[in-house]
Structure 1
Amino acid sequence: MEVLLAIATLLGGITALWFFWDKISAWLSGGMNVNSHDVGLYEEYKQLFISNGVAEFYRQHDFLGSFGEELWRPLSRYVDNWHTVEHEFTHKKLNKLHKKVYENAAELGGAIAKYTVPIGPGGHMRAVKPDYIPIGPIPEHIKEEAREINSLVPEFIKAHESFVRYANRKLGKGNA
């Protein structure tokens, strides 16, 4: 009889683990529920970088060439505004990954702000080469500034992709 009781207890324990596994794994990974604040914040992030193709632009662009001001504004706005507590995710790992994105975005944004200037009529474009430099060979210091910006892009994209993949999994979004 004791053996039967032990087997039943063991089976009951295994069944309870199986039944509550999603809650146990969520607790072990840092959070149980999808937080509406996190979902809303991630939607804002996607509007800045994904929905409009800005992240893809940064992945592909060579900063020796010019680019539209509308591709700079989302990164600039992000760096200027997303360092506040209102832009922290409640899920620990999600917030940690987002901080990595922000750190890399701040470095990239700082380099772009430092080395690019508005060009063209009305300043609707940006470039490392100002309008006042005559047509001809690009000065070496301008090429170096573009190389510096370009060197910061891979880490930003890597952090962005890690964050997006994890957020899509944790927040239940199929794609971004």
Structure 2
Amino acid sequence: MVRKIYQLRVALDGVTPPVWRRVQVPGAFTLDRIHRVIQYAMGWRDYHLHSFDIGGAQYGEPDPDGDLDLVDELEVRLDAVATEGTRLRYTYDYGDWWEHTVDVEEVLAADPDERYPLCLEGAGICPPEDVGGAFGYAEAVAVLHDPAHPEYAAVRERFGGVPESFDPRLATTLLRRLA
């Protein structure tokens, strides 16, 4: 049986400069593993709640209080809910409300000489945790483009670089922890 690999383009909505990643993951990954792929590839730290919306159904970590009606992501494989051309919505951090568009660009046969998951390419540094949503991110980016700003050094340290930079090799190294 040929293993299927899903090529996903994950884009953070509502930010400038654009923040996105192109990753390849096994179709047999459950949605909780896809969550972790997105976390590692984007640069999030997994400090907050998240959910997926796929075709109107909500998936995530079950809410012990019953306030959120989510299908358990541990029980659902990517290849059971998505095919080539499927668009998923991924929301992370219900306070800052980071929405991501996840497009299934291709479904490919696995390369026997490749280890998955991997990050092929991307752009932009992910906003730091708790930066204040898209508005707070825009303010921080403005500071980073003004070295004379009094908060420049602190904001640059928090970001770990300039907003436009991204290294897919580093993301792939982090993703290997999921393999």
TM-score scaled by length of structure 2: 0.25
Going by fraction, where is strand more abundant, 1 or 2?
Answer: 2
Counting helix residues as a fraction of each chain, which structure ranks higher?
1
TM-score, normalised by the number of residues in structure 1: 0.25
Look at both structures and tell me which one has the larger radius of gyration over its CA atoms.
1
